[in-house]
C-alpha cells in the first residue's frame, strides 16, 4: 500500500496529483481505462460486511447489502447521504436492477430470489428447484430476454450471514446450533437439500440448472459479457455443508448458446498475482468486455481491492483498498464510476470507461 498508509477519511491529506497511487497500471492498456485526476474515495464506513452494490439510474442512488446487520443501505448521489433502505432484508447478498428498473435481491435467510416491483410489492422469483429448497442464492444478473441468471452456493447457512440448517442438516449435523434464535417464527426449519449450482429463470417462471458443481463448485459472483454471448462465473471456497472440496478462488467462462445453455466452459484465470491469491467474489464487465473483479487477498493487504482483466484473461490493472473487497458495480449518471463494497466500507473511483448495462 501507499507509504505512509493513506488516510481515507475527510481529514486525510490529498493523495492524487495526477493519478491515484493506488490505481495501478499493470499493462499500458489500462491507462485508457483509468481516469487521471480521479482519486479513490471512501464514501461511507460502518457496515459489518458490505456486499451486492447495484446502481439505480432513475433514483441516482446506490443500494448495497450489509448482510450480518440484515439490512440494505442506500447512498444518495445528490448529497452523499447514507440511510437504511430496507430492514430487515432477510440477510440479502447480491442485488441488481433488471432492464425494467426493478430491483432483484438474493436472500440468504429465506433461501430465495425476490424482485421488488415498481409499485412496491415483492415477488418471489425462485425458492426451490425440483421441489427442494435452494441453498442461499448469492448473485443475480438479468438478461435482455427477460430471464434472470443466479448462483446458489451455501454461504448463507451460517449464523453470521443467515442461519444454519435445522438440526441434522449438513450445516448443523450435531444439532447443537439453534437456527430459530432471533428469527421470525417461520424461519429455522430448512435443511440443505441441493448441491451448489447456477440457474436460469425464464419469463414463464421455469427454473433450469445451467451449471452444476461439477462445472463450477460453489458458484458466487457472475456477469454477462456486453453482448450476452458469454457468462463469467466465480468459483469460491468450500461452504457450510459442502461434501466436496469446493472452489479454488478462480473464475470460469462459458459460451451462452442460442438454446440458453452453457457451452465450452473453461477456466478464465486462477487470480494468483505475484504469488498472492487475489480471490474474486463479484465481477462486472465494462463496455469493451474487460472484467473488473473484487479481490480478497486476506492479510496481503496490498492486493485487496479490484483486479482488472481483458476478455482474454490478461491482467491489466489493479485498485488497492485497505479492506477486503466483496463486490463491485458501475454506476453514476454516466455509468463511469466504479463502486466497491469492501468489508465495512463503501468506496468509489471514476474511470474512463462505462459499465455494461444494467449496473
Over the stretch 297-313, which tens digit does the pLDDT of each residue have? 999 999 999 999 999 99
49 pLDDT above the threshold of 80: yes
Segment 56-63 shows an average pLDDT of 97
Segment 181-186 shows an average pLDDT of 96
337 pLDDT above the threshold of 70: yes
The overall average pLDDT reported for the chain is: 96
Please give the pLDDT value at position 76.
Answer: 98
For the beta sheet containing 112-116, the strands, ordered from the edge strand earlier in sequence to the opposite edge, are 92-97, 103-107, 112-116, 122-126
15 pLDDT above the threshold of 80: no
For residue 83, count CB atoms less than 10 angstroms from its CB and return exposed for 0-12, middle for 13-18, buried for 19 or more.
Answer: exposed
Closest CA to 218 of 327, 136, 119, 335: 136
Segment 81-106 shows an average pLDDT of 98
Segment 7-19 shows an average pLDDT of 80
- DSSP 8-state code for residue 170: T
pTM of the model: 0.96
Segment 174-181 shows an average pLDDT of 98
CA 3/CA 11 separation, integer angstroms: 17
- Neighbour tally for 25: CB within 10 Å: 16
Q: Where along the chain do its domains lie?
A: 17-89+271-359
The sign of the CA dihedral 39, 42, 43, 49 is: positive
Please give the pLDDT value at position 35.
Answer: 96
Tens digits of residue pLDDT in 198-228: 999 999 999 999 999 999 999 999 999 999 9
- Which CATH code for domain 17-89+271-359? 2.120.10.30
CA 312/CA 215 separation, integer angstroms: 20
Please give the pLDDT value at position 11.
Answer: 80
Written as nine digits, the cell of 296 is: 480478497
Q: What's the pLDDT band for 9 if we cut at 50, 70, 90?
A: confident
The sign of the CA dihedral 20, 26, 31, 33 is: negative
118, 56 Cβ separation under 8 angstroms? no
Closest CA to 151 of 209, 207, 199, 93: 199
Q: What's the pLDDT band for 358 if we cut at 50, 70, 90?
A: confident
What is the β-pairing status of strands 345-350 and 41-45?
A: antiparallel
Closest CA to 140 of 51, 247, 254, 259: 51
Tens digits of residue pLDDT in 137-151: 999 999 999 999 999
Tens digits of residue pLDDT in 263-307: 999 999 999 999 999 999 999 999 999 999 999 999 999 999 999
Please give the pLDDT value at position 359.
Answer: 63
Please give the pLDDT value at position 1.
Answer: 73
Per-residue HEC secondary structure of 254-291 comes to EEECCCCCEEEEEEEECCEECCEECECCCEEEECCCCE
CA 321/CA 342 separation, integer angstroms: 8
14 pLDDT above the threshold of 80: no
Please give the pLDDT value at position 248.
Answer: 95
Segment 84-92 shows an average pLDDT of 98
Amino acid at each position: 500500500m501507499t507509504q505512509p498508509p493513506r488516510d481515507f477519511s475527510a481529514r486525510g491529506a490529498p493523495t492524487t496529483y495526477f493519478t491515484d497511487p493506488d490505481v495501478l497500471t499493470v499493462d499500458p492498456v489500462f491507462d485508457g481505462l483509468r481516469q487521471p485526476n480521479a482519486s479513490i474515495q471512501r464514501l461511507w464506513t460502518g457496515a459489518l460486511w458490505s456486499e451486492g452494490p447495484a446502481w439505480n439510474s432513475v433514483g441516482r442512488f446506490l443500494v448495497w447489502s450489509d448482510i450480518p446487520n440484515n439490512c440494505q443501505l442506500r447512498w444518495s448521489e445528490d448529497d452523499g447521504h447514507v440511510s437504511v433502505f430496507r430492514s430487515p432484508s432477510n440477510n440479502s447478498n447480491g442485488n441488481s436492477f433488471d432492464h425494467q428498473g426493478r430491483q432483484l435481491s438474493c436472500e440468504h435467510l429465506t433461501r430465495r430470489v425476490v424482485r421488488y416491483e415498481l409499485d412496491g410489492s415483492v415477488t418471489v422469483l425462485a425458492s426451490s428447484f425440483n421441489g427442494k429448497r435452494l441453498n442461499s442464492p448469492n448473485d443475480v444478473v438479468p438478461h435482455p430476454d427477460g430471464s434472470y441468471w443466479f448462483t446458489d452456493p451455501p454461504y448463507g447457512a451460517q449464523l453470521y450471514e443467515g442461519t444454519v440448517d435445522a438440526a441434522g442438516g449438513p450445516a448443523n449435523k450435531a444439532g447443537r446450533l439453534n437456527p430459530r434464535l432471533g428469527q421470525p417464527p417461520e424461519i429455522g426449519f430448512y435443511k440443505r437439500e441441493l448441491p451448489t449450482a447456477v440457474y436460469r429463470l425464464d419469463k414463464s417462471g421455469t427454473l433450469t440448472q445451467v451449471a452444476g458443481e461439477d462445472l463450477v463448485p460453489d458458484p458466487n459472483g457472475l456477469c454477462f459479457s456486453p453482448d450476452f454471448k458469454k457468462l463469467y462465473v466465480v468459483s469460491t471456497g468450500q461452504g457450510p455443508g459442502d461434501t466436496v472440496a469446493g472452489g479454488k478462488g478462480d473464475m470460469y467462462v462459458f459460451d451462452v448458446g442460442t438454446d440458453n445453455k452453457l457451452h465450452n466452459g473453461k477456466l478464465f484465470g486462477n487470480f494468483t498475482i505475484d504469488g498472492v491469491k487475489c480471490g474474486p467474489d463479484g465481477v462486472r464487465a465494462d463496455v469493451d468486455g474487460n472484467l473488473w473483479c473484487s479481490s480478497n487477498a486476506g492479510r496481503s493487504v496490498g492486493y485487496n481491492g479490484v483486479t482488472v482483466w481483458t476478455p482474454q484473461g490478461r491482467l491489466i490493472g489493479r485498485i488497492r483498498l485497505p479492506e477486503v473487497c466483496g463486490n463491485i458495480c458501475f454506476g453514476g449518471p454516466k455509468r463511469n464510476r466504479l463502486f466497491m463494497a469492501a468489508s465495512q466500507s463503501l468506496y468509489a473511483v471514476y474511470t474512463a470507461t462505462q459499465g455494461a448495462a444494467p449496473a
